Amino acid sequence: MQNIQNITQAYSQTPWRKQVQWIGAFSAGISVRLADCCALSGRNRAGKPTAGREIQDMQIGRIETANTTSEKRELHSIEELKQRNADLQAQLAIYSQKIR
């Protein structure tokens, strides 16, 4: 009986070991969260230069559009896009009258 008690006592964990394990697990969790935040921050910074260029284009009145027939992207002035929109609305009105 004494032998079993000695083995149990030898393999039981002391309170300071439990505290060290808890602190280690907590530190590992914080490290993972910090690495996740750093990765997200780096991904956000990667898009900032292109966003700045888009803002500059908008300030001078140019908008980038994608051509539907080809994947070529083009810069257009806002006035040109307004004119194209008005033309398309007029065509739509003509087509809708022909259907009736």
Determine the Cα–Cα distance for residues 54 and 63; give it in Å rounded to an integer.
Answer: 8
If asked whether residues 38 and 72 sit together in one domain, one would say no
The answer to pTM > 0.75 is no
If asked whether residues 39 and 58 sit together in one domain, one would say no
| Tokens representing residue 57 in the block | 């284009």
What are 66-82's pLDDT values in tens digits? 655 555 667 677 778 88
Give domain status of residue 1, yes or no: no
What are 20-30's pLDDT values in tens digits? 888 999 999 99
Determine the Cα–Cα distance for residues 61 and 39; give it in Å rounded to an integer.
Answer: 34
If asked whether residues 62 and 79 sit together in one domain, one would say yes
Please give the residue range of the domain that contains residue 86.
54-100
Tell which wins on pLDDT, 34 or 100.
Answer: 34
Cβ–Cβ < 8 Å for 64, 77: no
> How many structural domains are present in the chain?
2
Instruction: Note the pLDDT of residue 67.
Output: 58
Burial class (CB in 10 A: 0-12, 13-18, 19+), 62: middle
